[in-house]
Amino acid sequence: MALLPVRSKTRLAFSVAFLLWLVAFILLLNRRLAPSAAESDSHAAGQPPNSRFLAAEFINRVEQQQKELQQLLVESRQLAEALRAQSSIGGNKAGGIGEPTSPRPVMAKLSPADSLPASIAVLVIACNRPTVRRSLDQIFKYMPTSGPHQFHVIVSQDCGHAETASVIQSYGNKLVHIRQPDLSPISVPAKERALVGYYYISRHFRWAFDQVFLTMNYTAAIVVEDDLDIAPDFFDYFIHLGRVMAQDPTVWCVSAWNDNGKSNLIDTARSDLFYRTDFFPGLGWMLLRPTWLELRTGWPAAYWDDHMRKAGVRRGRACLRPEVSRSYTFGRVGVSNGLYFDKYLRFIELSKRPVNYAAMDLSYLLKSNYDSYYLDRVYKLPSVTLDIALGVGSGAPAEVRVQYNGPKEFVAMAKRLDIMPDFKDGVARCAYSGVVPVFKSGRRIHLAPGRPWKGYDVNLEVIDCFVVF
Residues labelled catalytic: 305
CA 307 to chain centre: 23
**Angle in degrees, CA 127, 128, 133, rounded to 5:** 90
Please tell me the distance from the alpha carbon of residue 86 to that of residue 10, in angstroms, as a whole number. Answer: 9
DSSP string, 343-385: TTGGGBPBP-S---GGG--GGGGSHHHHIIIIIHHHHHSPB--
> Cα-Cα-Cα-Cα dihedral of 223, 227, 231, 236, to 10°?
10
Distance between start and end Cα atoms, the chain:
61
Q: How far are the Cα atoms of 36, 62, 65, 69, 426 from residue 27, in angstroms, in the given order?
A: 15, 15, 12, 11, 60
CA 427 to chain centre: 16
Please tell me the distance from the alpha carbon of residue 183 to that of residue 57, in angstroms, as a whole number. Answer: 96
Please tell me the distance from the alpha carbon of residue 361 to that of residue 345, in angstroms, as a whole number. Answer: 31
Residue 156 and residue 125 in contact, taking contact as beta carbons nearer than 8 Å: yes
Tell which residue, 183, 228, 223, has the closest CA to residue 205.
223
Question: Do β-strands 176-179 and 423-424 pair in parallel, antiparallel, or remain unpaired?
Answer: unpaired
DSSP class of 317:
-
Q: How far are the Cα atoms of 49, 173, 359, 463 from residue 34, in angstroms, in the given order?
A: 16, 86, 51, 74
Phi, psi angle pair for 431, to nearest 5°: -75, 145
Cis omega (within 30 of 0) on the bond before 437? Answer: no
Residue 207 and residue 180 in contact, taking contact as beta carbons nearer than 8 Å: yes
Question: Do β-strands 427-428 and 423-424 pair in parallel, antiparallel, or remain unpaired?
Answer: antiparallel
Packing angle, helices 6-33 and 51-87, rounded to 10: 170
Query: Any residues with CB less than 8 A from the CB of 162 and at least 6 apart, and which?
Result: none
In the Cβ-directed half-sphere of 183, how many Cα atoms lie within 13 Å?
10
